[in-house]
Amino acid sequence: MIGEPIELAVHDHGGDGPPLLLIHGAARTLADWAAVAPLLVPRHRVLAVDLRGHGRSPAGTWSLPEVLADLQRVLETYGIPHALPVGHSLGGMLAVLHASRHPDVTPGAVNLDGYGWGRPDQYVGLDPAYVRERLIQIRELAQARTGLPLSADGLRELLDQQRATSEQLGIPYELLEASAVRSLRERPDGGLDVGPRREHALEMLDTIDSLDLFALFRGAPVPQLHGRAVRPLPPVPGLDWFAALTAAYARGLARDLAQLASERADVTVAEIDGTHAMLLENPRAVADAVLAFTATTNPLPE
């Protein structure tokens, strides 16, 4: 059942070519596309959206029918129902889901590193029971940290974190700051939260966990580009097992994506020189992969 419609915040980057809809990841905003979008505009009409509860879009309950209806409403409002969805992380999953529901007008889908934490059997070289325990820990950490109000010094701490990430990954600080600031929401008491709200963020995590992504990819009736980050995630303080876990998952993803591409001639796999933060780290590589893919797709009529 779909609840009250939500009008998403949209940044229209312009352009006159075949339309693209850019969709950010969980707990991020459309500001993540600031360095990629201008590289796409010479060949495409480009829109970017804030998902419900993120950035400047209103909050609301979080379910796939509602979120996908939000995206479709944007495309209808702008008169581009045939736009090709390009998503990062959670946005990549949504891109494939949207295209799967509208294959008659959608020429394809781009998923940039939208693979979640996968299944225990995808962690090559590790015991699935061990992986299952670690994934439970990761989920518990995510639940504990998501959607919490900022403390009195929270904004300063948030921006300090962005500066540290900038130095660690070589990302221009202003890109990180823009997305962080766009995520801020004022509470009734005048304090600040980082969107989405906790109850909706937990619904979002449950939704991600419910997806069988490779079954989705195999069944999607449209051409697909799947981008995979080839640089490891930064270490997490206090989690000495994290690097080995993510390295094992990277091996499993490489294997499973190669198998997917071998099964379907219309599936392209691109290795992107960056971490999961590829949009901010290496926008040129991301844009080049997207443009190479869209050059092979034929825009469908409305």
Chain mean position to CA 37: 15
DSSP labels for 13-31?
EE-SSSEEEEE--TT--GG
Whole-structure pTM value: 0.95
Ranges of residues in the chain whose predicted pLDDT is under 70 = 1-4, 148, 152, 299-302
* pLDDT tens sequence across 152-178: 677 888 899 899 999 999 999 999 999
Could you give the count of Cα atoms lying within 13 Å of 82 in the half-sphere of its Cβ? 13
Question: How far is the C-alpha of 215 from the C-alpha of 99, rounded, in Å?
Answer: 15
Contacts of 219 (CB under 8 A, 6+ apart): 100
How high is the pLDDT of residue 194?
Answer: 85
How high is the pLDDT of residue 301?
Answer: 53
* pLDDT tens sequence across 45-67: 999 999 999 999 999 999 999 99
Count of residues making up the chain? 302
How high is the pLDDT of residue 2?
Answer: 54
Whether domain 10-140+197-294 has CATH 3.40.50.1820: the reply is yes
How high is the pLDDT of residue 172?
Answer: 94
How high is the pLDDT of residue 220?
Answer: 98
How high is the pLDDT of residue 191?
Answer: 76
How high is the pLDDT of residue 123?
Answer: 98
How high is the pLDDT of residue 215?
Answer: 97
Q: What are the angstrom distances between the C-alpha of 223 and each of 97, 110, 122, 213, 285?
A: 13, 9, 24, 16, 20
How high is the pLDDT of residue 298?
Answer: 72
